Amino acid sequence: MKNHTLLTDLYQLTMMNGYLENNIHKDQVVFDMFFRKNPCDNSFTIIAGIEQVIDYIQQLKFDEEDLEYLRGLKLFSDDFLNILKNFKFTGTIYSVEEGSIMFPHEPIMRVKATSLEAQLIETAMLNIINFQSLIATKAARVCEAAKGDSVFEFGLRRAQGPDAAIYGARAAYIGGCAGTSNVLAGKMFGIPVSGTQAHSWIQKFDSELEAFRAYGRVYPDSCLLLVDTYDTLRSGVPNAIKVFKELREAGHEPIGIRIDSGDIAYLSQEARGLLREAGFGNVKIVASSDLDENTIYSLKMQQAEIDGWGVGTNLITSSGCPALGGVYKLSAVEANGKLIPKIKISENPEKITNPGYKKVLRIYNDSSYAEADLIMLEDEVIDEDKPLTIFHPTYTWKRKTFYSYRLKEMLVPMFIDGALKYRRKTVDEIRNYAQKELSSLWPQYRRLNRPQVYKVDLSKKLWDLKNSMVNSYRED
């Protein structure tokens, strides 16, 4: 990952300069990163991009070219630029593990650092986490619709630039995709790559049959043929069957066919019949063609004979939901060695922040299903041998008591005093963790349409603190 030190909004730097001018630049502050709404009308969000945040933090450094550019803006003092010259992150960050399932208003990251350090890292961290989490969540929805079929990310040519294509492929794999067409992403992250031929391959030859035979000669043990260039059922599938028979006679077994246009439900059913009649009933049928989770769900309901799905544009761009609205808000400041809670008040209730230095606990039942999350102040302790009662933060009469349960702290150390403490993982480890997390959710939280809202409550102590601060500002 290249150096992204200047990948920030200008106001981060003007505020940092202002902190210095007011001699509060060394004050310790606490920021929470969280999001207010799940993307795509989903009930959860898969957090991705943690590894790239680590790279970003470790590579923070203003070089001479950066400093000259900033000096040319004539906005910053020489004292401030000298501080940037020797800048190094020395703060503490707690983060969820990459691949975690999280919900609105829960801290994804908790940053405790000087005003300068905490302010600088905001924009880049949001950029990284917002995009990758968005695509990972979209991929999870597509894979949920596919009901166990393999889903391949095919969006490279439609992504919003190279970085979106590369890190979008990574996020899609974390979200559940079986592989990508993106060769660079495959090289960088060890993601399985997949692809065969385009329609231009078929068109280049004098006949479809000749094109299929030529491809089969090159890839006899991984032959998957695109059958919709001319006529899927009267030409494509029959010609594929001819080549499959020739391969089998030569000791090779074909992989299958791909359908990229037309009525996929009907064509796949008819193609399966032709393949089965010819003795190739077990070969794979892969579908592509502007698919998304809703189309796949509909095709599954129509009993389409599809074994794998290539999903491009609508996955890599998260069509219908272009952004995850992650935010980064001040929650406490340190004065005389003590953390003082801070809160943002808004006319929009959902924008009122949760104050203080907080943690997130997940409550599991005896069957290891996640039942609810509890946002608490860091110094709070729960005795798991005693019943635990939680309540809705708005409709407080809604309560639930757990008698047999276990708890998991979702935030783990990423950096302590600037030193990395987070265990780096391979993308396969992250993907496996995300799938394990998904399996801990009840089906009603994973359904595509109108999913049940997962319980995220505040501890009584945090709820009291928040309401007392809100009421004190109202009185003022």
pLDDT in tens, 306-332: 999 999 999 999 998 999 999 999 999
Contact, 225 vs 234, CB < 8 A?
no
Give percent of the chain above pLDDT 90: 96
- What angle is formed at CA 447 by the lines to CA 441 and CA 448, rounded to 5 degrees? 135
Instruction: Quote the CA–CA distance of 455 and 352 in Å, as a whole number.
Output: 18
pLDDT of residue 474: 74
Kindly indicate the confidence band of residue 3, based on its pLDDT and cuts at 50, 70 and 90.
confident
Closest residue by Cα to residue 176 from 293, 76, 272: 293
**Do the beta carbons of residue 375 and residue 457 sit within 8 Å?**
yes
Q: What is the pLDDT of residue 17?
A: 98
Strand order in the sheet with 456-458: 406-409, 358-364, 370-377, 456-458
pLDDT in tens, 153-162: 999 999 999 9
Burial class (CB in 10 A: 0-12, 13-18, 19+), 246: middle
Enumerate residues 6+ apart whose C-beta is below 8 A from 385.
none
Q: What is the pLDDT of residue 2?
A: 74
Hey, what are 430's tokens? Answer: 């992250």
CA atoms of 410 and 28, how far apart (whole Å)? 23
Angstrom CA distances, 348 to 344, 351, 413, 458, stand at 11, 6, 32, 19
User: Is the CA virtual torsion 199, 205, 211, 214 positive or negative?
Assistant: negative
**Residues in a beta bridge with 95:** 109, 412
Q: Report how many helices (DSSP H) and strands (DSSP E) the chain contains, helices first.
A: 17, 21
Which CATH entry fits the domain spanning 150-316: 3.20.20.70, 3.40.50.720, 3.40.50.1470, 3.40.47.10? Answer: 3.20.20.70
| 156: nearest Cα among 141, 134, 172, 143 | 172
466 contacts: CB under 8 Å, gap ≥ 6: 343, 352, 354, 355, 458
| pLDDT at site 212 | 98
Do the Cβ atoms of 27 and 114 come closer than 8 Å?
Answer: yes
Nearest to 35 by CA among 140, 168, 172, 130: 130
Specify the DSSP class assigned to residue 454: P
Domain residue extents for the chain: 150-316, 355-409+453-476
Separation of alpha carbons 359 and 38, rounded Å: 20
Which residue, chain included where needed, has tokens 């907080």? 358
Nearest-angstrom CA–CA distance, 156 and 180 = 9
If you average pLDDT over every residue of the chain, what do you get? 97
What confidence tens digit (pLDDT) does each residue in 233-279 have? 999 999 999 999 999 999 999 999 999 999 999 999 999 999 999 99
**Angle at CA of residue 182, ends 177 and 186, nearest 5°:** 75
Query: Is pLDDT above 60 for 476?
Result: no
pLDDT at 1 over 70: no
- Cα three-residue angle 401-404-410, rounded to 5 degrees: 85
Exposure pattern of 250-282 as b/e (b: 16+ CB <10 Å)? eeeebbbbbbbeeebbebbbebbebbeebebee
d(CA 10, CA 344): 22
Shortest CA distance to 16 belongs to which of 114, 107, 102?
114
